[in-house]
Amino acid sequence: MIDPYKKITTDTECLKKRCLCTPVIVGPTGPQGPIGPAGPATISVGTTVTGDPGESASVTNSGTDTNAILDFVIPQGQKGNDGIGDTIFVRSTTTGEAGTEAKVIDNKVNNTHVLDFVIPKGPIGPAGPTLFRSAYLVTFNADKSDTGVPVEPEARLPISRLELDVSNLLELDEKEGLIKFNVAGYYRIFFTVSAYPSVNDVEFDPTKDIVSIGFKETNTDNVYLGVGQWVYNAEPVELSACGIIAVVDTAVTYELSNLGKYKIFLQTPDLTNLSSKSYFSNSLVTLVIDYLGKQGA
């Protein structure tokens, strides 16, 4: 009987020598193997925990073989090196033009930020209220005579005090009785004077028994406001006038002047005969000047 395994071996060796090839023996398909064990039905993630640095990462099934619940342990990384901190220094803050953008310029040098700020102006606001500017001038009654303070024809009335002028509206030469305005523009002038004319005859004379006062430019006949009144029995009367003047040249001086042709006397009741002790109670001359502004201003 021929040994089949020996024959196969002999044939194989023969094929190798003759055709330099190795025969492959193909047998019939074998029977199906047994069914393997069933895998898990579900897989879900349970917890994720941070472990300590250097610890190994791990995954643990806290569920069952068929319903796996995976719990992860992920170790914390090693501590990094300390970073390099920057410093901030504000160098300048300047004002930009209205309507421009605000900006910050960072001039960084190494780890230092040198900041320059540019902050624009706000828009121009509405005009504010007009400042009310006034001056108050007065001549107190310091005369002790029975007749009063005499003022010759075309002479100036005394103005002794610039009582109030917080905005430096004008200057008063008390010795000469001259007023000079510091600001050009329009002014409202109001004055009161208590006076009487010198007595010329026993009978009333309408050509002589007159008191006339005017506010005018010095050494001219440019009278801007004035008042005149007949006086009977040589009794003092209070005269008042109000008007508006335009000051163009602030070098020009002004005065209150006796516009009559005869001497007049300034007189008011003596302060000792009044219940008030204020010198404003019996002023001989009062002058109030209000600044109205400039044309178009």
Note the pLDDT tens digit of each residue in 79-100: 778 777 788 888 889 998 888 8
In this structure, what is the dihedral angle of CA atoms 25, 28, 29, 31, given to the nearest 10 degrees? Answer: -130
Rounded CA-CA distance 74/90 in Å is: 45
The band of 133, judged by pLDDT with boundaries at 50, 70 and 90, is very high
Q: What are 157's two structure tokens?
A: 């009335």
The ranges of the chain annotated as CATH 2.60.120.40 are 133-293
Residues across the chain: 297
Residue 265 pLDDT more than 90? yes
Share of the chain above pLDDT 70, in %: 87
pLDDT score for 2: 59
Residue 1 pLDDT more than 60? no
In this prediction, residues 168-186 reach a mean pLDDT of 96
pLDDT score for 288: 97
Residues 6+ apart with CB under 8 A from 126: none
What is residue 99's DSSP assignment?
T
Residue 280's alpha-carbon distances to 57, 88, 150, 163, 240, in angstroms, are: 103, 67, 20, 11, 16
The band of 38, judged by pLDDT with boundaries at 50, 70 and 90, is low
pLDDT score for 208: 92
DSSP letters along 131-155, please? PPEEEEEEE-----SSS-EEE-TTP
Of 67-71, 199-203, 242-246, the range with the lowest mean pLDDT is 199-203
Rounded CA-CA distance 158/140 in Å is: 10
pLDDT score for 59: 81
φ/ψ bin of 213: left (φ > 0), alpha (ψ from -120 to 50), beta (otherwise)? beta
Mean pLDDT of all residues in the chain?
86
pLDDT score for 30: 75
Of 38-42, 171-175, 190-194, the range with the lowest mean pLDDT is 38-42
pLDDT score for 58: 87
* C-beta of residue 267 within 8 angstroms of C-beta of residue 195: yes
Q: Is the pLDDT higher at 57 or at 135?
A: 135
The band of 20, judged by pLDDT with boundaries at 50, 70 and 90, is low
Q: Is 5 helix (H, G, I), strand (E, B) or coil?
A: helix
Residue 21 pLDDT more than 60? no
In this prediction, residues 132-152 reach a mean pLDDT of 90
**What is the arrangement of strands in the sheet containing 253-258, beginning at the earlier edge strand?**
170-173, 178-181, 253-258, 210-217, 223-230
pLDDT score for 128: 64
Rounded CA-CA distance 244/219 in Å is: 20
The domain made up of 133-293 has a fold known as Jelly Rolls (2.60.120)
In this prediction, residues 95-110 reach a mean pLDDT of 88
Rounded CA-CA distance 178/265 in Å is: 19
pLDDT score for 271: 85
Residue 15 pLDDT more than 60? no
pLDDT score for 124: 84
- Which of 198, 266, 194 is closest to 233 using CA atoms? 198
The band of 201, judged by pLDDT with boundaries at 50, 70 and 90, is confident
pLDDT score for 83: 73
Rounded CA-CA distance 193/197 in Å is: 13
* C-beta of residue 105 within 8 angstroms of C-beta of residue 80: no
**What is the arrangement of strands in the sheet containing 67-75, beginning at the earlier edge strand?**
42-51, 67-75, 58-61
